[in-house]
Chains A and B, each alone.
Chain A
Amino acid sequence: MEISRRYFLKSGGIALASFASAPSFLVRTALAQTNHGRGADRPILIAIFQRGAADGISMVVPFGDRHYSSLRPQIAITEPSRGGNDRAIDLDGYFGLHPSLDSLKPIYDEGHLAIVHAVGSPDNTRSHFDAQDYMEAGAPGNKSVSDGWLNRYLQAKPDTNATPFRAVALSATLPRSLAGPASAVAMQRVGDFGIRGGRATPEVEQLFADLYKDTFDAVKLLRSATAQQYVPSPTAQYPNSPFAQSMMQIAQLVKSDIGLEVAFADIGGWDTHANQGSSRGQLANRLKDLGDSLSALYRDLGDQMRNIVLVTMTEFGRAVRQNGSGGTDHGHASCLFVAGGPVKGGKVYGQWPGLAPEQLYEGRDLALTTDFRDVFSEIVITHLGARDVSRVFPNFKQAAPLKMVKAS
């Protein structure tokens, strides 16, 4: 009879306590054995929130749309056929990646990075706060939904064998997406997740063991699974940034085989109202951090990406015309990335609504042709194996799937 590690942890408090005092390599060996087979092929979702409303038509440039460059005299990205290193990187003859996202191009070429364009939330709010809240609640326009969409997925597909690390956010506090009755861990760094009391540590843990039981169960498990200093794969070049740090922590959690199923991280700085720049500048710097960090994560996880789908999101896009200060004001639709082994990439999905004046949303923004919930639904059903998403996305009727994710 094979006993899974997760069952073991849930049911064997005493056994776990004895684990905690055993040499860590023994613990890891024991965990690896009990977990053989199943844990290794568990599907994982990594969700990334670009907070501040990222400019979709700078991330993935619709250079083939003849209106694009004239709407943005100072901040348009040069089309691939002109200019030097500063030009967009051609994807399919119509769309191009921002040059700062160059490290994602190989993943696109390998067929593991898909892009959905003109995607977003159908609600017309241009409030960061509300739009993030709607997206994370998975319920645009509905302020009465109190838990997040990822938490509702965890609820809808209960796992009695789950470890405390089934869902992890790489932040000090739990993001709205993971808020709710299902348990989830929030932490900034793997190495900081514990008591740093020196010799007093066991005594402090004892003091609070009952008061914060879930927390200390998680601390013990993490300590045993990540006992050694993490060394990323030599092919992974993580930039020196908080977001890259988050990506590296996720890679470490995946590799430590600690029962991770859903990971969440965010990256800010997308609210480019002024001087956003074009192929260089403020936005380019943010994109460099984003692209290089995601690419490092991808390289670091290597073959394990076969079980992983990564999805990015942002609360809305930005107005298609540049404003008076070389930036862009709040808009409507944007774009998002879906990457990983199960992704049918190398393609820009979604219908392009066009940038002609009469095609713009409320005369100023990129119109929406794909509801973000359609993308997330496909991932939740096809990749994570949920039966349906009616509970995850209330009052939502799915459109025909984009068929961008293969069943795992």
Chain B
Amino acid sequence: MQDVTHLLNRTAFGARPGDLERVQKIGAEKYLEEQLHPPRVDDQSTDALLVKFPTLRMSAGELLEKYQRPAQLRQGRQETQTPQFRMRRLAETPQLILQELQAQKIVRAVHSQRQLQEVMTDFWFNHFNVFWNKNADRWLTTPYEMDVIRPHALGKFKELLEATAKSPAMLFYLDNHLSSSIKGINENYGRELMELHTLGVDGGYTQKDVQEVARAFTGWSIDRPQRSGGFMFRGRIHDDGEKIVLGHKIHKGGIRDGEEVLEILAKHPSTARFISTKMVRRFVSDDPPVKLVKHVSDVYLKTGGDIREMLHAVFTSNEFNSPEVSGAKTKTPFEFVASAIRAADGTTDGSRQIAQAIGRMGQPLYQCQPPAGYADRGDQWMSNGAVLERLNFAVALASNKIAGTTVASDESPKALVTRLGSPEFQKR
């Protein structure tokens, strides 16, 4: 492992001035070890930046209580409808939850010392995508990222999978909370669970499997969904009959049916291959080298889906460290923006202006409607419209015209724009 720039481009959101020297001093291996074990890296300075986002520490219930839907605002009692009161309440719409959620993502990507943790949180959120704008997910998405995705980002895939399966955000997004043995099943979650979360579309399941999996998950629901409650298993609407999933008989009954399906899927070789392919595409190349995918996939099967071990296998592989892959992968808009602020030695409070710029480049954060998430191939991000938006961002950033974001680079604005707007900087 020699190319530290490449390492920082892939395991972090690019290098800040001085990062290169620091990593060279402690050695790439030690840096990687630290990044793979985030608690070993002190990150109090980032925590301090996040204090100003109170919604990050609220439960879904608290969020709903404080940031009500607009319709409920209008239904307030007459005497509370003074102009001051209404001004205050309108400032507390769910839109503010989204702003803080986007802001923390940007702040963390730019400032966190635990860069790999941020890269993987981004990776897994996109893999287990939920759409913020879908009704209750406006209150459920913040706890989903904080309590479901983030803590498992470098853990065991099976635990991450189960946490998403039992998360109100996912149960709501893919409609499983409505799937019922009495009223009838809803296939949405059962299908995407296999197609997008585990086996992959060519992973060997059938339409019949989709229906059987949906039956197994009947009753996996939310305690008062419109009140943002927690996970709840409703035995009354669970289908306790026998199911056959991928040739396995599922007959433990109750909540164990769904859990058994998750075990089968997590252990399946198609899942190992699908997750490994996606990981290699993120870190190595749009066209994942077959041999490396096989290797990472073997690590998955051998370690029971240990994400940390899989990443280690990727970063220490010949394919990752071969010169032709470095600088060859197009950055997503989010990666471009975070890496640009870092490269300019900037600080940011993650203001709305930045989130909006990322949106205009084609990646509105937390607002990807389809369950597949955003494209994991880099080459899909560039168009002439997107190039112009990237240049516009570079211009605004270099001339310090973004409120709450300041660059401290000793380069002239012109030199900085030239660097951040160059075709090379659009890649990592």
Contacts and interface: CB of A to CB of B under 8 A. Distances in A.
A324 B178 contact: yes
Contacts of B137: none
Interface stretch (B78-86, B145-153, B366-374): B366-374
B317 interface: no
Contacts of B210: 126
A187 B385 contact: yes
Contacts of B360: 172, 188, 192
A196 B356 CA distance: 15
Nearest to B181: A324
Contact of B191 (A126, A197, A214, A274): A126
B276 interface: no
B384 A212 contact: yes
Contact of A197 (B179, B389, B392, B423): B392
A196 B372 CA distance: 33
B372 A128 contact: yes
A390 B418 CA distance: 45
A323 B187 contact: yes
A215 B387 contact: yes
A212 B183 CA distance: 57
B45 interface: no
Nearest to A275: B178
B68 to A, nearest CB: 21
Given A128-B371, A129-B201, A208-B391, A193 B186 contact: no
A383 interface: no
B62 to A, nearest CB: 26
A324 B179 contact: yes
Contact of B370 (A52, A126, A203): A52
A116 interface: no
Given A200-B399, A329-B187, A195 B383 contact: no
B421 interface: yes
Contact of B178 (A127, A128, A207, A325): A325
A273 B175 contact: yes
Given A127-B195, A185-B384, A197 B178 contact: no
Given A128-B372, A219-B388, A325-B178, A173 B381 contact: yes
A376 B418 CA distance: 44
Nearest to B179: A324
Determine the interface band of chain B, counting residues with CB < 8 A from chain A.
35 or more
A188 B186 contact: no
Nearest to A274: B175
A61 to B, nearest CB: 22
Interface string A195-207: 1110010011001
Interface in A151-180: 164, 169, 171-174, 179
B201 A173 contact: no
Interface string A115-154: 0000000000111111000000000000000000000000
B175 A327 contact: yes
Contacts of A330: 187, 191
A172 B175 contact: no
B70 interface: no
B388 A204 contact: no
A207 B183 CA distance: 63
Contact of A128 (B180, B370, B421): B370
B425 to A, nearest CB: 11
Given A197-B392, A211-B422, A173 B386 contact: yes
B201 A125 contact: yes
A302 interface: no
Contacts of A130: 201
Contacts of A208: 391, 421
A76 to B, nearest CB: 16
B209 to A, nearest CB: 12
Interface string B159-192: 0000000000000001100111011111110010
A169 to B, nearest CB: 8
B414 interface: yes
A181 interface: no
**Secondary structure at chain A's binding surface: helix, strand, loop or mixed?**
loop
B207 interface: yes
A269 interface: yes
A194 interface: yes
Contacts of A215: 384, 387-388
A218 B175 CA distance: 44
A280 interface: no
B361 interface: yes
B380 interface: yes
B362 interface: yes
Given A195-B391, A207-B417, A51 B384 contact: no
Contacts of A269: 369
Contacts of B421: 207-208, 211
Contact of B414 (A171, A207, A271, A329): A207
Contacts of A64: none
B201 A207 contact: no
Contacts of A207: 414, 417-418, 421
A362 interface: yes
Contact of B392 (A164, A172, A196, A212): A196
Contact of A273 (B188, B361, B417, B423): B188
Contact of A186 (B372, B385, B418): B385
Contact of B417 (A171, A204, A268): A204
Highest count of chain A CB atoms <10 Å: which of B196, B387, B388: B388
A324 B183 CA distance: 5
Interface string A260-289: 000000001101011000000000000000
Nearest to A212: B387
B372 A129 contact: yes
B15 interface: no
B410 to A, nearest CB: 19
A169 B201 CA distance: 28
A129 B371 CA distance: 9
Contact of B380 (A173, A185, A187): A173
B395 interface: yes
Given A130-B201, A325-B186, A204 B385 contact: no
Contacts of A362: 207
A204 B186 contact: no
B391 A204 contact: yes
A325 B184 contact: yes
Which 3 residue pairs are nearest across A and B when measured between Cβ atoms? A324-B184, A172-B362, A325-B178
Given A208-B421, A324-B186, 14 more contacts: A126-B210, A127-B191, A169-B383, A171-B362, A172-B360, A186-B384, A186-B386, A197-B392, A322-B184, A323-B186, A324-B185, A325-B178, A325-B186, A329-B187
29 contacts: A51-B369, A125-B201, A126-B207, A126-B210, A129-B372, A164-B384, A169-B383, A171-B362, A172-B362, A172-B363, A172-B389, A173-B362, A173-B383, A173-B386, A185-B384, A195-B392, A200-B399, A204-B417, A207-B418, A208-B391, A271-B370, A273-B175, A274-B175, A323-B187, A324-B178, A324-B179, A325-B175, A325-B183, A329-B188
Interface of A: 51-52, 125-130, 164, 169, 171-174, 179, 185-188, 192-197, 200, 203-204, 207-208, 211-212, 214-215, 218-219, 268-269, 271, 273-274, 322-325, 327, 329-330, 362
Interface of B: 174-175, 178-180, 182-188, 191, 195-196, 201, 207, 210, 360-363, 369-372, 375, 380-389, 391-392, 395, 399, 414, 417-418, 421-423
